[in-house]
Amino acid sequence: MKFFKYSLLLLLLVGNQQLFSQDQEDNYIEFNDRNNIVHGIYLGFNLGVGEIEDEPTYAAGLKLAYVANQQFEVGFAANTIYSRQDLIFTGNNRRQDLFAVYGGLHLEPIFFSKSIVSLSFPVLIGGGAVGYIENDYDEDYDPEISEEDIDAVFVIEPGVSALFNLSRYVQLEAGVTYRFSSIIELEPSPIDRINGFTANIGIKMGIFNMGRNRYKKKI
């Protein structure tokens, strides 16, 4: 009989403890986003040097991109290039250089993103315009650029970059890209494509990790 009383008392104590614990748990929300995608966004600027038809070429660009889980970027990129071709066309004694402006979809898978130095493979797919400009432009002599002096161009520009993760908000990047272009039809022009390598350095500023791991949030 005593054993039965002691057993009943023990069961009541255990039951009350469980109810109390459940009541305490009701004041919290279980929350763990370790397996969730971490979001980010940034604005980037870059400068580069390269070549077109073995002549020095200078580039400047910008990027606005969304970063998924610090492993993949998707966004918009635009570049401007200026190439010192120093060409003299028939019937024109003025020396001319090549310029182009293009932009489009930016994609960039990232490897080793948790390390101080990451490896990425950016690619730009888009289009723009290309033409010639006097390298010693004189407003009193040179005519304004017309539609006949510019041609549309399609560009695919893949590359490889090293990303230096300075903080949650700043990255430095250094890399090399190669530009593949469609044929340009400017007459007269000894250049039919703007293909070429470019070595780039740049900075990305934004928030690369908007998330944080949490376990319980008090109501």
What is the per-residue pLDDT across 10-59, written as a single tens digit (0 to 9) for each?
445 545 555 444 444 444 444 444 456 788 999 999 999 999 988 899 99
- Say whether both 1 and 43 belong to one domain: no
Q: Residues of the chain with pLDDT > 70: what percent?
A: 69
Average pLDDT (184-200) is 88
* pLDDT tens by residue, 62-87: 999 999 988 999 999 999 999 988 77
Average pLDDT (190-200) is 92
- Say whether both 110 and 10 belong to one domain: no
- Say whether both 110 and 169 belong to one domain: yes
Average pLDDT (168-183) is 95
- Residue 24's SS3 state is helix
Do 165 and 145 contact (CB within 8 A), yes or no? no
Q: Tell me how many helices (H) and strands (E) the chain has.
A: 1, 11
- Say whether both 44 and 3 belong to one domain: no
- Say whether both 1 and 83 belong to one domain: no
Residue with tokens 């950016």: 122
- Say whether both 11 and 52 belong to one domain: no
- Say whether both 118 and 20 belong to one domain: no
**Distance set, CA 59 to CA 63, 101, 103, 213 (Å):** 14, 10, 13, 40
Mean pLDDT over the full length of the chain: 80
* pLDDT at residue 90 tops 50: yes
* pLDDT at residue 164 tops 90: yes
- Say whether both 147 and 162 belong to one domain: yes
Listed in sequence order, the residues at least 6 apart from 161 whose beta carbon sits closer than 8 Å to its beta carbon are 108, 119, 120, 121, 122, 173, 174, 175, 176, 200
- Say whether both 127 and 213 belong to one domain: yes
- Helices in the chain by DSSP H: which ranges? 2-25
Do 84 and 99 contact (CB within 8 A), yes or no? no
Task: With CA atoms as reference, report the closest residue to 43 among 208, 198, 209, 156.
Answer: 208
Distance CA 177, CA 107 (A): 13
Do 35 and 193 contact (CB within 8 A), yes or no? no
- Say whether both 85 and 2 belong to one domain: no
Average pLDDT (146-167) is 89
pLDDT at site 141: 52
pTM, to two decimals: 0.74
Number of domains in the chain: 2
Residue with tokens 């020095």: 56
Continuous segment of H or E residues that includes residue 111: strand 95-111
- Please state whether 166 falls in left (phi above 0), alpha (psi between -120 and 50) or beta: alpha
What CATH code is carried by the domain that includes residue 119? 2.40.160.20
* pLDDT at residue 124 tops 90: yes
Other beta carbons within 10 Å of 193: 16
- Say whether both 48 and 5 belong to one domain: no
